[in-house]
Amino acid sequence: MPVIHNKRFLGIAPKISAHLLREEQAQIAQDVNLWSQSLRPLVKPLIGPRLTKEGPIQTLHRYRDDSVWLCWLQDVNATQGPINDDPIQRLYFTGTDKPRVTTNYLYAIEDDEIVSSPDRNYVLNGDMQIAQRGTAFTSTGTYPNNDDAYLLDQWVLLSDGNDIVDVSQETTTIPADGLTAAKLDVETANKKFGIIQFIENRNIAGLIGQTVTLSFKARKGAANATVDTLRCAVLVWDGTADALTSDIVSAWNVEGTNPTPVANWTIENTPANLALTNAYQTFTAQAAIDTPSAKNLAVFIWCDNGDATVGDLIYITDVDLYLGTVAQPFEHGAFDDVLMECQRHFETSFDYGTAPADGTGNYWSPSTASVISTGVIVMQCHWQNSKRVAPSVTFFNSDIGGTAGQWAYRNIGAGGYTAFTPTLGFATRRMASVNGGTGLTGGNAFLVYGNWTSSAEL
């Protein structure tokens, strides 16, 4: 969907008349996300016109107060006619189109051309570009391919047991307009599996009682023996908001029968077989969110084949969920923007591209720590992005040394390194206080080395 790009927003200037505003200013700015320099709603859906012109639209002009818009494929200036309360509402504009004037008699619009066009994808990291935990997940490592495990950012693997499929970020077998996809590689035969994403309570405003459209691209491996069918669902959680059961499957059931959800989860659409080929296809499904007590939503894509063969592959990417009955083209968010949004849920101190693990990657020296009167080191860890809730924190030792989960400190005056077991003093949405060591001299300064992850995921 077309958006307005503002390369440099100078903020609001409410006391300046509208006609005197610079193009980088506004009188009012609310519910706006400018991280990617696109003017779009942050929370609420956008109600706007369906643009009938094809091609790169250069200019949009609101012609009348009843949401009639004009668009041009060129950069033009438009101005109302000089007659006050003009009954035919003359509008003059520059450019090459002729005539360079329109009136309410020349321009008419049908009621059905105004549609609800939500310029918001409710799925985060739908193209699988963010992978803070690593890019490959097997039965070993810090994050094994277990049932009900977060792997690629925001996506949970659900499977009929552990080590059913290996999961990785694919960068070769991808759509022509994409860079990444999720690759699911069957490791245990004759089991079902899939990926799911949960949408937190504060982000479902405006969806309850409405129809949504789920869309995604998928294909199978060229050498697949049996895996050739996916199904998808939009689900509603009506339990306590954001305190959901992430392993939503009570029973996977036989091929051709949808999984049975656990208590408080309801499938809102009627999943049907989606036949995969050796090329990417776009699949869509509509769901009426008619559970009035809904607190969270989820999108679930799974393999329905009950006879999966080891080595068979499935690729999934460009997942989106929009309000309305029209499937929108997938919009690839700027990497830094999507990473920042993902870090609201999960973040690591490791360099991006380094999978969290003990003794792996560069050491992290967050700050000079101080020893308090009780002889304990106290230091603060600040998150890159404020977390959804106070997170859980996991510690990893650095390549300085120590056993798993330990950190190390270095007395600036004395030199050398000493391993210690860090403990979490407290954690908030913005930072954590970490303590460690014993019997140290108060007031001394230390460098502390170690790594961490913080998780506020649903």
pLDDT digits (tens, 9 = 90+) for 91-111: 777 876 556 677 554 554 333
What does the alpha-carbon distance between residue 218 and residue 204 come to, in Å, rounded to a whole number? 26
Measured at the CA of 401, the angle between CA 400 and CA 406, to 5 degrees, comes to 110
CA dihedral sign of residues 308, 309, 310, 316 = negative
Question: Of the given ranges (75-89, 133-147, 176-190, 251-265), which has the lowest mean pLDDT?
Answer: 75-89
Residues 6 or more apart whose Cβ sits within 8 Å of residue 325: 211, 213, 286
Q: Are residues 305 and 372 in the same domain?
A: no
**Predicted local distance difference test score (pLDDT) of residue 343:** 96
CA dihedral sign of residues 226, 229, 235, 241 = positive
Q: Are residues 328 and 372 in the same domain?
A: no
Where among 306, 328, 343 does a domain terminate? Answer: 343
DSSP summary character for residue 67:
T
Residue 71 has pLDDT above 80, yes or no: no
**Predicted local distance difference test score (pLDDT) of residue 99:** 60
Residue 402 has pLDDT above 90, yes or no: no
Q: Do residues 185 and 168 touch, judged by C-beta distance below 8 A?
A: yes
How many separate domains does the chain show? 2
408, 442, 441, 401: which is closest to 422 by C-alpha? 408
DSSP summary character for residue 32:
B
Residue 199 has pLDDT above 60, yes or no: yes
Does any domain span residue 101? no
36 HSE (CA, 13 A, CB side): 18
Q: Which residues pair with 166 in a beta bridge?
A: 185
pLDDT digits (tens, 9 = 90+) for 308-343: 999 999 999 999 999 988 888 898 999 999 999 999
Share of the chain above pLDDT 70, in %: 80
**Better-scored residue on pLDDT, 371 or 99:** 371
Q: Are residues 209 and 312 in the same domain?
A: yes
**Predicted local distance difference test score (pLDDT) of residue 328:** 84
Where among 291, 310, 343 does a domain terminate? Answer: 343
Q: Are residues 335 and 272 in the same domain?
A: yes
Does any domain span residue 300? yes
Q: Are residues 305 and 173 in the same domain?
A: yes
Does any domain span residue 14? no
Does any domain span residue 315? yes
Q: What is the mean pLDDT of residues 27-49?
A: 60
Residues 6 or more apart whose Cβ sits within 8 Å of residue 208: 289, 291, 292, 294
Does any domain span residue 375? yes
Does any domain span residue 212? yes
Residue 392 has pLDDT above 80, yes or no: yes
Tell me, yes or no, if the pTM score tops 0.95.
Answer: no
**What is the total residue count of the chain?**
458
Q: What is the mean pLDDT of the chain?
A: 85
* Edge-to-edge strand ranges of the sheet holding 101-102: 78-80, 91-93, 101-102
What does the alpha-carbon distance between residue 230 and residue 275 come to, in Å, rounded to a whole number? 7
DSSP summary character for residue 43:
S
What does the alpha-carbon distance between residue 270 and residue 231 come to, in Å, rounded to a whole number? 10
What does the alpha-carbon distance between residue 59 and residue 75 come to, in Å, rounded to a whole number? 6
Q: Are residues 162 and 290 in the same domain?
A: yes
Q: Do residues 267 and 261 touch, judged by C-beta distance below 8 A?
A: yes
What does the alpha-carbon distance between residue 330 and residue 323 come to, in Å, rounded to a whole number? 14
Does any domain span residue 198? yes
Q: Are residues 331 and 374 in the same domain?
A: no
Q: Are residues 403 and 437 in the same domain?
A: yes
Compute how many other C-beta atoms are within 10 angstroms of the C-beta atom of residue 406.
20
Q: Do residues 71 and 55 touch, judged by C-beta distance below 8 A?
A: no
Q: Do residues 37 and 6 touch, judged by C-beta distance below 8 A?
A: yes
What does the alpha-carbon distance between residue 325 and residue 212 come to, in Å, rounded to a whole number? 6
Residue 146 to residues 159, 167, 169, 271, Cα–Cα distance (Å): 8, 10, 17, 25
26 HSE (CA, 13 A, CB side): 10
Q: Do residues 315 and 182 touch, judged by C-beta distance below 8 A?
A: yes
Does any domain span residue 209? yes
Residue 203 to residues 177, 207, 327, 392, Cα–Cα distance (Å): 28, 9, 19, 22
Q: Are residues 243 and 323 in the same domain?
A: yes
Q: Do residues 218 and 315 touch, judged by C-beta distance below 8 A?
A: yes
What does the alpha-carbon distance between residue 394 and residue 297 come to, in Å, rounded to a whole number? 28
Q: In the chain, how long is the greatest CA-to-CA distance?
A: 86
Q: Do residues 15 and 2 touch, judged by C-beta distance below 8 A?
A: no
Residue 12 has pLDDT above 90, yes or no: no
Q: Are residues 147 and 277 in the same domain?
A: yes
Q: Which residues pair with 49 in a beta bridge?
A: 114
Q: Do residues 117 and 48 touch, judged by C-beta distance below 8 A?
A: yes
Residue 113 has pLDDT above 70, yes or no: no
Cα separation of the two ends of the chain: 30
The whole domain housing 248 covers 136-343
SS3 content of the chain, % helix, strand, coil (to 5): 5, 35, 60
The structure tokens listed for 172 are: 């070769």
DSSP 242-267: T---S--EEE--STTSPPEE-TTEEE
**At 320, which CATH number?**
2.60.120.260
The structure tokens listed for 199 are: 């949408």
Q: Are residues 250 and 328 in the same domain?
A: yes
Pairing of strands 25-26, 11-12: parallel
Share of the chain above pLDDT 90, in %: 55
Q: Are residues 268 and 140 in the same domain?
A: yes
